[in-house]
Amino acid sequence: MSDLERGPDAGAGRSEGDADDRADRAVEDAVLEVEALEKRFGGIVAVDGASFAVERGSITGLIGPNGAGKSTTFNCIAGVHRPNGGRVVFDGEEITGEEPHQVANRGLVRTFQIARELPEMTVLENMMLAPKGQRGESLWRSVLPYFREEVLDQERELRERAWETLEFFEIDHLAEEYAKNLSGGQRKLLELARALQTDPEMLMLDEPMAGVNPTLEKKLLEHVHQLREQGYSFLIVEHDMDVIMNNCERVIVMHQGAVLDEGAPAEIKSNEQVIEAYLGGEV
């Protein structure tokens, strides 16, 4: 159930100010900054002045009870929703209100809470779709004789990359399977693998571990750590406190559309409000 109906306590103004302070304190080189983000759906205020920043090259967790506004925040950042207020800055440039494909082409790529694989396309097709700068995405180049040769050359390269990434995620045995035939966990992996194909700078993962079995979950986290080593930044929404605490350098806690707390996992753990929000959220 939504927390909006539950607690009269958390005022938006207060957490906004706090969030700014915290951001200044903790993040030195922010790859993503969100300022006073606001999103309303009719009467519902889904995101209510959330502000936070994500350190470049970090794994940052975004937690909060169901309905806290995490997915909506993602959607506002990624351009799916146009926020009613606030700013989003990626890599020093404002991207507020840009279209999803513009945001993605800047190198900020997201996955969805409910995996959006392309069901009637094979895993390989899913992978081949993602890379940026495909010349054959223009109608003319994909058809006209001379240009098509170039396109096919590029296709061969992309094929190599697709297989490499699939092998990295150990789902290459599923390459020729329709995406709709994958298990929930495999879809999540595919979505992540596909997102990587775009050469992103930063990945936003919405509950990547939901519906994933423990073995796969471990693997997925390993992959995330490996990728972080290679320089990717991560913002991960996750319900499981333990996962967040053990894997993230920094944690942002959202509650009722606003940022409740922000900091290292240990600090967060001891925050009374967070504990309360979580206890409340789970009842």
Ligand X SMILES: Nc1ncnc2c1ncn2[C@@H]1O[C@H](COP(=O)(O)OP(=O)(O)O)[C@@H](O)[C@H]1O
Distances in whole angstroms, Cα of residue 283 to Cα of each of 6, 170, 203, 206, 253: 11, 38, 31, 22, 18
**DSSP, residue by residue, 134-185:** -GGGSHHHHHSHHHHHHHHHHHHHHHHHHHHHHHHTT-GGGTTSBGGGS-HH
Nearer to other proteins, 23 or 203 (CB): 203
CA distance 76 to 171: 31
Nearer to ligand X, 152 or 279 (CB): 279
Residue 2 or 138: the one with the smaller Cβ distance to ligand X is 2
Residue 148 interacts, among other proteins, ligand X, Mg ion, none and using kind-specific CB cut-offs from 5 to 8 Å, with other proteins
- Closer CB to ligand X, residue 67 or residue 83? 67
Which 3 state secondary structure label does DSSP give 188? helix
Q: How far is the CB of 110 from Mg ion (least distance, A)?
A: 12
How many other CB atoms are there within 10 angstroms of residue 274's CB atom? 20
Smallest distance from Mg ion to CB 226, Å: 26
- Subset of 4-43 contacting ligand X (CB under 6 A): 4, 41
Given 44, 114, 144, 152, the residue binding ligand X (CB under 6 A): 44
Query: Of 58 and 72, which has the nearer Cβ to ligand X?
Result: 72
- The position carrying tokens 């930044």 is 233
Measured CA to CA, the distance from residue 256 to residue 274 in angstroms comes to 12
Among 19, 38, 70, 259, contact with ligand X (rule: CB under 6 A): 70
Of residues 49 and 67, the one with the C-beta less far from Mg ion: 67
**Any contact of residue 71 with ligand X (CB under 6 A)?**
yes
Q: State the residues that interact with Mg ion by CB under 5 A.
A: 71, 113
Which of 31, 46, 115, 193 lies at the binding interface for ligand X (CB under 6 A)? 46
Q: Using the rule CB under 6 A, which residue among 2, 102, 183, 213 binds ligand X?
A: 2
d(CA 103, CA 96): 9
Is the distance from CB of 194 to CB of 126 less than 8 angstroms?
yes
72 near ligand X (CB under 6 A) = yes
In 10 A of CB 66, how many CB atoms? 12
The interface with ligand X within residues 49-68 (CB under 6 A) comprises: 64, 66-68
Hey, is 246 helix, strand or coil? helix
Q: Which residue ranges make up the site for ligand X (CB under 6 A)?
A: 2, 4, 41, 44, 46, 64, 66-72
